[in-house]
């Protein structure tokens, strides 16, 4: 997996399409929807269609616990990389592509952090 999380291509999806992904913003969910998350928004465009917005919500408690356990800093780039990893999976499997907002579980955040360590 590429370390690039601001602008990248993902796919192919189950239909053979490649998607262009652009990072839009990162902010705490409490400020926009009263959720204890870090929300990362992307604009995704299939090679044959119109752009759609996707927001990956990372639970703040999971981020704090995982970074504390592993002795790493909780940073914006880490959140962007975790969200981008999940968005790649969404595109490749078409899972949750019908949703605009997807909230990860604690286990998913931990798994993506482990996956990123291998890159």
Q: Is residue 2 predicted with pLDDT exceeding 50?
A: no
User: Is residue 1 very low, low, confident or very high in pLDDT (cuts 50, 70, 90)?
Assistant: very low
Q: Is residue 29 predicted with pLDDT exceeding 80?
A: no
pLDDT digits (tens, 9 = 90+) for 6-16: 899 999 999 99
DSSP SS3 for 52? strand
Pairing mode, if any, of strands 52-59 and 101-103?
parallel
pTM of structure: 0.91
Q: Is residue 45 predicted with pLDDT exceeding 70?
A: yes
Among residues 18, 19, 24, the alpha carbon closest in space to that of 6 is found at 24
Q: Are residues 108 and 93 in contact, defined by beta-carbon separation less than 8 angstroms?
A: no
């Amino acid at each position: 997996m590429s370390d690039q999380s601001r602008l990248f291509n993902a796919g192919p999806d189950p239909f053979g399409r490649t998607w262009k992904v652009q990072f839009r913003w990162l902010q705490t969910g409490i400020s926009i929807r009263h959720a204890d998350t870090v929300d990362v928004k992307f604009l995704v465009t299939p090679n044959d269609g119109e752009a759609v917005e996707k927001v990956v919500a990372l639970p703040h408690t999971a981020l704090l616990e995982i970074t504390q356990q592993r002795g790493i800093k909780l940073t914006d780039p880490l959140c962007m990389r975790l969200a981008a990893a999940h968005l790649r999976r969404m595109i490749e499997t078409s899972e949750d592509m019908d949703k605009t907002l997807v909230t990860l579980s604690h286990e998913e955040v931990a798994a993506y952090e482990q996956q990123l360590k291998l890159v």
